[in-house]
Structure 1
Amino acid sequence: MNISQIDPREERAFVWRLDLFFLTIGFLGYMFKYIDQTNINNAYVSGMQEDLSLFGNQLNYFTTLFSAGYIIMLYPSCVIISHFGPSKWLPTCELIWGILTCCLSVAKNYQQVYGLRFIIGFFEGTAWPAYFTMISQWYLPHEIGLRMSIYNIAQPTGAMLSGAMQGALATNLNGVLGRSGWRWAFLINGVCTIAVALAAFFILPGYPERQNPLSKFYLKPRHIEIALARGRRVGRKPQTGITIKSFLRCFTFWQVWAISIAWTFGANTIPSNYYNLWLKSLKNPDGTVKYSVGMLNYLPIIGQAIQLVCEILFSGFSDFFGKHLPFLLLHSVINITSLAILIVRPANEHAYMAGCVSTMLLCAWASIHLQDEPEARTVLFATGTVMSYICNAFIPIAAYPAVEAPHWRIGAKLYLGFAVMVFFLMIGIHFAFRWQKKRNT
C-alpha cells in the first residue's frame, strides 16, 4: 500500500478507533493493576496493621517483596511478548494476579502477605513493557507522548480510586459478613482485575504485523494496512523475536542506559506512598487522632488529582509542540520544590501536603529516537523498570522506614538529591540526542 493513498480523514478515524478500544482497555488494566499494587498502603492504615498484628518495617517489606517478584519477570516477559505477542500473555498474567489479589482478602498473617505480594509482583511484571511496546508500535512519534501518558495516568487514577475505595469500604462495609473493610477492598479489586483481563483477550491488538485474531471485530484488514503504512512512513521496523544476541546488543545503545538511569532516579523522587502514614500520625490538641480511617484514604486523592492533570497537560503540549525537554525540566522543578517543602516541614499543614506531584515523558522521548530498533525499545522499557524497582525495593527501607513516621530523617533529603541529578541528566540527554541526530545525517 502506498503511503500517499491514505486519506487523512481515514487515518484519523483509525487512530480514534485504536484509542477507543486499545487505550481504554490499557487504561483500565493498568488502573486496576496499580490499585492492586498500592492498596497495601491504604489497607495498612485502614485496619490491616491491627488485624494482622503488623509491626516494625513489615509494610516496607511488603513493597520489597512485590518489587522483587516484579523485577524477576520483566526480562523474560520481554522475550515472550516479542516472540508470541502480548495479546495472550498479558491477559493471562493479569488473570492470575487478579485471582491472587482476591487471595489477599483472606490472609491470616504477614507471612501469607509476603508470599502473595511476591507472586503478584511476579505476574504484574509483564504489564509495563507489554503495553508500552504496543503503544510504540501502533502510534506515530507525535502521538506517542500523549498516549503513553493516558496509559500512565491510570497510576494516579488507580491511587485515587484505591484511597476512595478504602475510605468508602472502611465506612460502609467494615464488619459485613465478618470481613474488615480492607479485606473487601482486596476482594473487589481482584474481581475487577479478572473482568478486565477477560476483556483484554479480545481487545488487545497485538502488533500491526501480527494482529491478535480476536481483535478483528474492531480492527479490519484496511485498518491493519493503514497501521503498516504509518509505520513505514517513520521508518519503523516490525517486532521480531528477541534472541540472546539481539538482547545483549540492546545494551550497546547509550539511549537505553541514559534513559534508564534518568527514569530510575526520577521514579525515586516521589515519596507519595508514605503520605498517609504522615496523616495517620497527626493528633488533635487533646491527643486524639486528627483524621478518621476514611479521611486517611480520601486526603491523598488531592495530590493524585494534580498529578493526573499535570501528566495530561505536559504530554499533550509536548506532542503538540514536538518538544520534550522543557516539560521534563518543568516536571523536575515541581519535584524539587515539593521535596524542599518536605525538608523544611512548614508549620502550615496544607503547605506540607503540597509535596507530592509527578509526571513522565521519558519513555516517549526514548521511543522517538529508537524508531528503527523495536527490540531496543522493549528492552529499554524493561531496563528502566528493573532499575527503578531495584532501587524502590531497598531505598525506601532506609529512607522512609515505617518506624520513623512521620518525621523521616533522610527521606526527602536523599530524594531531593536524586531530583537535582535527574534535572541535569535530562539536559545532557537532550544534547546527546542532538549529537546522535547530526551523526546520523
Structure 2
Amino acid sequence: MAPPLPTKVPRKWYQWYALEDTPEERRLLLKLDLLILPIALLSFWIKNMDYANINNAFVSGMKEELHFYGNELVQFQTVFTVASVVGQLPFAFLFPKVPLYILIPSMEVFWGVFNLLQFRSKSFGEEVAYRFMVGIFESAFFPGVQYVLGSWYRGDEIARRGAFFYVGQTIGALSTGLLTASVASTFGGRHGLSGWRWMFIFTSVITFPIALMGYVLWPGTPLKPNKIFLTDQDVALARSRLQRHGHMDNHGVLENPDLNWTQIKKTFQGWRIWVLTIWDITFWLSGLHVSGGTYLLWIKSLKRYNVKDLNNLGSTAPGIGILYLLVFCFASDLFLGRTLALSISYSWNMIGVLILVIWNVPESAKWFAYNTIYGATVISPVFHGWANDILKHNAVERAFVLVFMNSVSQGMSAWIPLLVFQTVEAPRFTKGFSFTLALSFLFLGMTQAVRHLHKRQE
C-alpha cells in the first residue's frame, strides 16, 4: 500500500519554496533552477526568434524580393509545423532511453545549420526545404523540455519554472522585431544581402554557443543525469522527494526506460491520453491568431510605417506578453490555482479576439485587441505543468502522452490555418478570428472537465 502523500502547508505568494522543503531540498532546487532555467530560456528564445523571423522577414522585404504574392507565408508555417509533427514521433520512445543532455543540444546544432542556410534562399521551393529541416530539428525541443521539467519538479513547482522557460518565446518575438528593425537599417545591402537575410545569419551565430552550453547545463533526468554539476547525493535526494509526492511507484522506480506495446495499449485504454490530447488541440488552435503574424500584417496594411517602425511596433504584443506570462504563471502556483489562472488569461485574450471579429471599431480598439493576444499562449507553462502533474505516476506514459498530444495538436495546427488564416485575406481574418474565439470557449470547457477528472484520479 502506498504511503499517504505529505500535507502541503499554505504559503505566501512571494515564497519561492514550499514551507515543508528542507534546507537540502532548497539547495537542490536552487541548483536545478540555475541549470535548467537559463539554458531553457536561451534555447526557447532563439527558437522563437526564428519562428517570428519568418513573419518579420516576409513583411521586411522577402515578399517583394522573392516575388511572393499569394499564401506563401502561411504555407511556410504549415511546412514547418508538419515537419515538427513528423519529427516528434520517435521521441515518445527515445525520451526515457536517451540522455537528454546529449539529445537536446545535438538537435539544436543541426537546427542552427538549417536556420543559417535560409539567408541564401532564392525561391519558394528552396525556402520550403529549409523550413522543413528547421522543423525536423526543432521537433524534440518543446516536449523534451516539458519532460525534463516534469522529471525534476513537483506539480506545484512547474508552472512558475515554466514561466521563465516560456519568457524565451515572448522575448524571441520581441527581440526579433527590434533586431529586424536595427539590422534592416544597419546591415541591409552589405555584401549584397538584404536586411532580412542578415537576420537569419544573426540568429544562427547566436544559436551555436547556446547549443554547446546545453551539453554542460542540461541536467538530463534523475535516471539519466548529467553529473557535471549534479552529485549522486543530489540525484538520490531528487528521487526521494518525488517519491514522497507520488511521482514514483512503491519500488522506487522513477521511470521505466522501456516503452513497449503493452504499455502503449494500456495508455490508449485510459482517459488521460484522449482528454489531454483534445484539451491540447483546443489550446493550440485557440492561439493560431498569435503565430500567424496577424498583428504585423495589420500594421503593414496601414501603409504609414517604414520597415523599422513596423517591426518596432510589432514588438509591443510580445513585450506585454511577458507581463501576462509572469503574472498568470506565478499566480497559478502560489494563490490563484491552475483553473482560475487559465480562465482569467483566456478571458482577457477573448476580449481582444471578439474586437477583431467585429472589426469595424476605432483603430485604437484594434491596437488594444492585438496587444491582448498573448494571453492565449503565455499560459502554456500552467497548461503543460498541469498535464505533467496528471501524468506524474508513470514516466513512460508521460513521455508517450506528451509527445502524442503535442504531435496531434501541432498537426491540426498545420492545415487549419490554410483554411482560416489565408495570407491573401489579411488583415481582416474574419474566419480565423471567429474560429479562435470559438476554440477559446471550448478550451475553457475542457479545462473544467480536466479539473474534475484529475481531482477524481488523485
With normalisation by structure 2, the TM-score equals 0.89
Which of 111, 132, 137 is equivalent to 1:97? 111
* Contact 1:261 1:387 (C-alpha < 8 Å) held by counterparts: no
Instruction: Report what 2:307 is aligned to.
Output: 293
Q: Take 2:260 and 2:184, find their aligned partners in 1: how far apart are those partners?
A: 49
Instruction: Report what 1:223 is aligned to.
Output: 234
Q: Take 1:89 and 1:357, find their aligned partners in 2: how far apart are those partners?
A: 30
Which of 378, 399, 402 is equivalent to 2:423? 402
Describe how 1:154-303 pairs up with structure 2 within 5 A: 154-213=168-227, 216=228, 218-237=229-248, 238-239=254-255, 240-270=257-287, 271-272=289-290, 273-282=293-302, 289-303=303-317
Which one is further off, 341-350 or 184-193?
341-350
Q: Take 2:174 and 2:434, find their aligned partners in 1: how far apart are those partners?
A: 26
Instruction: Report what 2:318 is aligned to.
Output: 304
* Contact 1:101 1:186 (C-alpha < 8 Å) held by counterparts: yes
Amino acid corresponding to residue 222 of structure 1 in structure 2: Q
Instruction: Report what 1:436 is aligned to.
Output: 457
Structure 2: gaps spanning 5 or more residues: 7-19, 249-253
* Contact 1:250 1:375 (C-alpha < 8 Å) held by counterparts: no
In the TM superposition, residue 309 of structure 1 has moved relative to its aligned partner by 1.5
In the TM superposition, residue 61 of structure 1 has moved relative to its aligned partner by 0.8
Amino acid corresponding to residue 423 of structure 1 in structure 2: L
Number of positions where the alignment pairs a residue of Structure 1 with one of Structure 2: 425
Q: Take 1:33 and 1:372, find their aligned partners in 2: how far apart are those partners?
A: 31
Mapped pair 1:71 → 2:73: no
In the TM superposition, residue 336 of structure 1 has moved relative to its aligned partner by 1.6
* Contact 1:78 1:130 (C-alpha < 8 Å) held by counterparts: no
Amino acid corresponding to residue 233 of structure 2 in structure 1: R
In the TM superposition, residue 249 of structure 1 has moved relative to its aligned partner by 3.0
* Contact 1:62 1:117 (C-alpha < 8 Å) held by counterparts: yes
Q: 1:255 to 1:410 in 2, by over 3 A?
A: same
Which one is further off, 261-270 or 33-42?
261-270
Q: Take 1:255 and 1:401, find their aligned partners in 2: how far apart are those partners?
A: 34
Q: Take 1:57 and 1:312, find their aligned partners in 2: how far apart are those partners?
A: 35
* Contact 2:84 2:139 (C-alpha < 8 Å) held by counterparts: yes
Which of 126, 131, 137 is equivalent to 1:112? 126
Q: 1:219 to 1:154 in 2, by over 3 A?
A: same
Instruction: Report what 2:13 is aligned to.
Output: none
Q: Take 1:148 and 1:251, find their aligned partners in 2: how far apart are those partners?
A: 27
In the TM superposition, residue 425 of structure 1 has moved relative to its aligned partner by 1.5
Q: Take 2:269 and 2:166, find their aligned partners in 1: how far apart are those partners?
A: 27
Amino acid corresponding to residue 147 of structure 2 in structure 1: T
Amino acid corresponding to residue 411 of structure 1 in structure 2: G
In the TM superposition, residue 190 of structure 1 has moved relative to its aligned partner by 1.2
Instruction: Report what 1:373 is aligned to.
Output: 394
In the TM superposition, residue 346 of structure 1 has moved relative to its aligned partner by 4.5
In the TM superposition, residue 420 of structure 1 has moved relative to its aligned partner by 1.0
In the TM superposition, residue 322 of structure 1 has moved relative to its aligned partner by 7.2
Q: Take 2:110 and 2:175, find their aligned partners in 1: how far apart are those partners?
A: 22
Summarize deviations over 1:46-92 as a string: whole Å, max 9, x none: 11111111120011110111011100011202212211121111111
Amino acid corresponding to residue 156 of structure 1 in structure 2: T
Q: Take 1:81 and 1:432, find their aligned partners in 2: how far apart are those partners?
A: 27
Q: Take 1:155 and 1:241, find their aligned partners in 2: how far apart are those partners?
A: 33
* Contact 1:149 1:312 (C-alpha < 8 Å) held by counterparts: yes
In the TM superposition, residue 165 of structure 1 has moved relative to its aligned partner by 1.3
Mapped pair 1:58 → 2:72: yes
Alignment partner of 2:60: what SS? helix
Q: Take 1:306 and 1:151, find their aligned partners in 2: how far apart are those partners?
A: 16
Which one is further off, 246-255 or 88-97?
246-255
The CA RMSD measured in Å over matched residues stands at 1.9
Q: Take 2:265 and 2:105, find their aligned partners in 1: how far apart are those partners?
A: 28
* Contact 1:87 1:205 (C-alpha < 8 Å) held by counterparts: yes
In the TM superposition, residue 252 of structure 1 has moved relative to its aligned partner by 2.8
Alignment partner of 1:108: what SS? coil
Alignment partner of 1:219: what SS? coil
* Contact 1:35 1:161 (C-alpha < 8 Å) held by counterparts: yes
Identity %: 27
* Contact 1:334 1:357 (C-alpha < 8 Å) held by counterparts: no
Q: Take 1:388 and 1:301, find their aligned partners in 2: how far apart are those partners?
A: 27
Structure 1: gaps spanning 5 or more residues: 283-288
Q: 1:425 to 1:97 in 2, by over 3 A?
A: same
Which one is further off, 9-18 or 97-106?
9-18
Q: Take 1:354 and 1:251, find their aligned partners in 2: how far apart are those partners?
A: 43
Q: Take 1:347 and 1:64, find their aligned partners in 2: how far apart are those partners?
A: 31
Instruction: Report what 1:416 is aligned to.
Output: 437
Q: Take 1:192 and 1:40, find their aligned partners in 2: how far apart are those partners?
A: 17
Amino acid corresponding to residue 228 of structure 1 in structure 2: R
Q: Take 1:426 and 1:164, find their aligned partners in 2: how far apart are those partners?
A: 36
Amino acid corresponding to residue 241 of structure 1 in structure 2: D
Summarize deviations over 1:109-153 as a string: whole Å, max 9, x none: 111000110111011100011111010011122211111222122
Instruction: Report what 2:154 is aligned to.
Output: 140
Amino acid corresponding to residue 385 of structure 2 in structure 1: A
* Contact 1:78 1:129 (C-alpha < 8 Å) held by counterparts: no
